[in-house]
Amino acid sequence: MLQPIGLIPLLLVFSMMLASDALATEPTPAGSPPASPASSDGLPSVDQVEAKIAEVAADTALDEAGKAALTEQYRRTLANLEATRTFDTQSKELAEALTTAPAETAAIQQRLAQREPQADNVVEIPTDLPTEEITQRLSIVLADAAVEETRIGELDKAIERSTGRPAAIRTRLSEVKAALGELEVDLGQPKGEGAETPAGEARRWALETRRASLWAEGRMLEQELLSLSVREALHRAQREEATLEWEGLRARQRQLEELQNQRRRDEAEAAQRESERARIAAADKHTLVQEATRENAEITTSMGDLARSLEDLDLEIEDLEAERKRVEQDFKAAKQRIEAAGLSKALGQVLVERRDEIPDLRRLRGAIEEREDEIAEATLRQILYREEQRQLRDLDAYLDELTTRDPTAQAPEVREQLEATLEQRRRLITQALVVEDDYIRQLGELNYAADQLIHTAKGYDGYLAERLLWVRSTLPVGLETLVTLPSAIGWLVAREHWVEVTRVLAHAGAHSPLVWGLSLLIVALFWKLSSLRRAIRATAEPLRKIRTDRLSHTGKAIGLSLLAALPIPLLLWLIGLQLSTSIEATGFTRALGSALIGTSVGLYYLRAFRTLCITGGVADRHFRWSQGTLQRLRREFDWFSIFIVPVALTAMVLYNDSDPAFSGSLGRLAMVATMVGFSVFFARLLSPATGVLKGALAANPKGWFNRLRHIWFSVIVGAPLGLAVLALLGYVYTAGALFESLVQQTWLALALIVLHQVIVRWLIVTRRRLALAAAVERASARRAQNEAERKETAPSASELQVDEPEPDLAALDEQTRRLINASVFFTALLGVWLTWSDVLPALSMLERIPLWYYDGMVDGVSQPVPVTAANLGLVLVILFVATAAAKNLPALLEILLLQTESVSAGGRYAIKTLVSYAITVAAFLVAFSTLGLNWGQVQWLVAALGVGIGFGLQEIVANFISGIIILFERPVRVGDIVTIGDTTGVVTNIQIRATTIRNWDRQELLVPNKEFITGRLLNWSLTDQQNRITIPIGIEYGSDTRKALSILAQVAEQHERVLDDPAPLISFEGFGDNSLTIVLRCYLSSLDGRIGVATELHQAIYDRFKEEGIGMAFPQRDVHLSLRAPLDIRLDPAARHAFRPAESVPQSE
């Protein structure tokens, strides 16, 4: 720690700098000391500044931007004044501590010297104290001990802060000096024309008060440095005194708890003895007396059990407190070592071992949950006791009710015996309630102690995880690694080790029923393995027909597959469990057992997925994967399972329990081989050219997944190789931690593949059943029509046959695919978070890498705030998640929440689009805030955008605002049929700038959104989709018009798509040049199939007119030949040979 003598030159230099700045800026009159710029003379008061803020708010001549700028300056002035006042107060307190702290320290040391050793730890407590007083004294002691413990923690933090405080103060003094220099330059500039304006005054006040706050901070730091050593000495003395006081309180607590437990035991034993005597005495008495006596005995038994449980709880609380203090001490020692000497390789290895000693947080949380259940049960017992106690308050009424049901119990002697027994129960219930209260309180205390331990252990684990991931834990692989290989192999295959394994297994087989039970199960699974596979293939038979197809068949097949994959992994797990938990276990057997348990889990994942891919199995018949893909999967999973088990088992055994030289040689090489094996497995399985994704990539050559195939393939294959290189370079802990998360991510990917396929299978089954129902309905309709037409003819088999549609994944629409992808995507996000949660604390090291700084308000003071690499990484994660959410969450919301009859398709599209916009805007706001971009820094960009909008971007902004209006006001919706200009079509998409309309020629027209708001628009389906078809018809003169009108009415009435209300309208419109004009006007419920309906109506009208002999008119023309001059007739010689009159043509008269 830096001593005050060493700080005196620095303080003198700082004081001279402050004095020179003051003389240079404000010359003082002769004979008076120079005025400090930090003094209140010349500075505005808080009232003056608040009055200025009110004047600005009331000034109508200022625009909003000017008001905001002035208000911001005045608020900075207020913050500077508040900071100045705070620094001045702290300076006075520190100056006072400089003079009073030595005396307080001496007084404490004198009290400690006069204190007799163990004086507070021995307290005479009368053994005849009432139970209530013991409980009251214990509560007071517990509260006092908690206060002293809190005080000790605060003093420890103060002492810890004192260690690195001098360096921080020196850094801050340098920053204050630099800031003062910049302020003096700003304040020393000549006053311009705007100096006397409100803006100039506001700026000057902000600068002057900022200078004053910096001066006050400098004086405070000076006093802090001068008083640092005496305050630290005082804190250490206070901590020593508080520790002694806490130890004395803990001793009294143990005495009181022991007395309380003894009192509980005595009371419980006395009650049990009394109940036992009463039970024996009631053996020949009335049954009601016997029953009441038995219930009293049950209460006393419960009290005795709780009394013993309370003693155990006291011991558990002490153990947890001791464990918490050990973890705190280790945490503090680790911090001191790292801050003093840095994180070296040797220290890193020690801390890795220390991290293994951190309590299991999952076990602690599980114990807390179990105790919560116990608290609930104890609370329920209390409720029952209180209910019975309430009933026993009026003992006579209770006896009357009890004896009324049994007339033989109304005898005076029986009633007297019952009254005595119930009086005893009333006393017992009162005692039981006290014991239950103590039990619930102790359970709460134990949970609190466990919570404190979890909090401390979590902080310690996070601190180590943050630093250990980046430290080299051993030397790189070299010649010495190869030298120790023979010894490591010899240790692994040593005969005595495997003799120990045999002995432990033999002992477990002789004494553990679990071993026999699971062994019989494993044998049964091996025996029935072929039957299980036949049962798996049999589940595919009902899939052939829609009527028998069920998703439950797929669930059954998956369950059988998981069971068929169980025998070998379960055998390894059972052996590992016995080797690691047996009382005969040694270090080697525990290491081998832990390795077998870990290996069995990974092997089970591989075997389960391999069983899903058997011929005729789930992937083959239920998921409909291609045979080439299945053969590739079976081949790759087979060799990888055989390779990975012994290699991973070797690495885990050596790292669990062996000499560090062995784990660093053979163990590290086995770990590297495991990583390389995973890399080769990924390369062979996922190769874009030959792997299982070859067909999917070829089917979508322009998709992003195909375009980025070289990138994702390199990342997946290169990740294990990179970790292998890290392990060879000595970063074994880093490689191991990351590789464990990578392996878990692999198992998660396999599970998500199965989940995705199950969802697709469910959708296919649902669609097939709907298609079947529609086909059955159509067949029934055809049969009914045929029966109506031919009542005497039986329907043929073809009329009743229903064609079952084949399952087709391509039939899944875009919405359904987005639902599947969104569900799997968010499940994957959750899995990734859980998988990498143990590694994420290490990324906090990125918070120590500043990229740039921005001015921010910290505790009311403007300070430079760093933007670190962690902030940049967080922004990238936010943008990635927001992009995925903007694409998938709206579709998920549309399908899961909005598909109701009250919300139309257009409404769902509007909500989906607005949610997408909201997610995007929120993501950018959070990203800007994380990067330190506030309004003051981006307002220039907004101003530039305003200018751009005024010149060239006004059309884009107008279209964007019009798109928002369209989504809210909804003059057009997706699916509407509209006519705009000379284009009629269906609205297919509403985007930010334009709306897409597809016409009847399947051409897509992009219409700017502004056209829909400012122009004329015809929406055929805005509020009512009913539309009219007009069919004009011309019939020959002389036709029966009444009959023609009747035929049109019949045709309209017989067509199923023509509405009855409004009714069709048939009219005789007029006499044309060549025809009699009649018109059919009829209405349809929607625009769907409008052209087809018109065609059917035209065809029906033509057929009926033809049957009834009504002719369709056609234009007639009269040709007049002029005979005023001879006709000029010429014959073409070439046509003369072609003209062969077949019959004589009558000459015109």
663 closest CA partner among 893, 353, 434: 353
DSSP notation for 527-543: HTHHHHHHHHHHTTGGG
Q: CA-CA distance, 84 to 557, in Å (whole number)?
A: 75
Per-residue pLDDT at 637: 94
β-pairing, 994-999 vs 1004-1008, is: antiparallel
148 closest CA partner among 295, 78, 251, 1: 251
Alpha carbon of 142 to those of 138, 261, 365, 371: distances in Å?
Answer: 6, 16, 24, 21
Per-residue pLDDT at 792: 46
Per-residue pLDDT at 344: 63
pLDDT in tens, 506-517: 888 777 788 888
Q: CA-CA distance, 1101 to 1103, in Å (whole number)?
A: 5
Stretch(es) of the chain classified as CATH 3.30.70.100: 1027-1114
Q: How many residues does the chain have?
A: 1149
β-pairing, 1018-1019 vs 1076-1084, is: unpaired
Q: CA-CA distance, 725 to 741, in Å (whole number)?
A: 17
Per-residue pLDDT at 864: 67
> How much is the mean pLDDT over the chain?
78
Q: CA-CA distance, 695 to 362, in Å (whole number)?
A: 44
956 closest CA partner among 1009, 887, 917: 1009
* Matching CATH number, 934-1023, of 2.160.20.10, 3.40.1160.10, 3.90.660.20, 2.30.30.60: 2.30.30.60
Q: CA-CA distance, 605 to 615, in Å (whole number)?
A: 19
Tell me the CATH architecture of domain 1027-1114: 2-Layer Sandwich (3.30)
Per-residue pLDDT at 718: 92
Q: CA-CA distance, 683 to 640, in Å (whole number)?
A: 12
The amino acid sitting at 478 is G
Per-residue pLDDT at 1003: 80
The structure tokens listed for 977 are 């049929």
Q: 377-382 long-range contacts, Cβ below 8 Å, gap at least 24?
A: 378/436, 378/439, 378/440, 378/443, 379/440, 381/302, 381/436, 382/433, 382/436, 382/437, 382/440
The per-residue b/e assignment along 883-902, b for 16 or more CB within 10 angstroms, e otherwise, is: ebbbebbbbbbbbeebeeee
3-state secondary structure labels for all residues of 473-518: CCCCCCHHHHHCHHHHHHHHCCHHHHHHHHHHHHHHHHHCHHHHHH
Per-residue pLDDT at 26: 38
Residue 325 φ/ψ, nearest 5 degrees: -65, -35
Stretch(es) of the chain classified as CATH 2.30.30.60: 934-1023
CA 1044 to chain CA centroid, nearest Å: 72
Residue 151 burial (CB count, 10 A): 17
The amino acid sitting at 596 is L
Q: 1008-1012 long-range contacts, Cβ below 8 Å, gap at least 24?
A: 1008/955, 1008/959, 1008/962, 1009/959, 1009/960, 1009/962, 1009/963, 1009/965, 1009/966, 1010/955, 1010/958, 1010/959, 1010/962, 1011/980, 1012/962, 1012/966, 1012/971, 1012/972, 1012/980
pLDDT in tens, 285-307: 788 878 888 888 888 888 888 88
pLDDT under 50: residue ranges of the chain: 1-39, 119-120, 792-812, 897-899, 901, 1138-1149
569 closest CA partner among 533, 608, 532, 542: 608
Per-residue pLDDT at 818: 61
- Tell me 986's DSSP state: E
Q: CA-CA distance, 434 to 132, in Å (whole number)?
A: 9
What residues form DSSP beta bridges with 1079? 1032, 1067
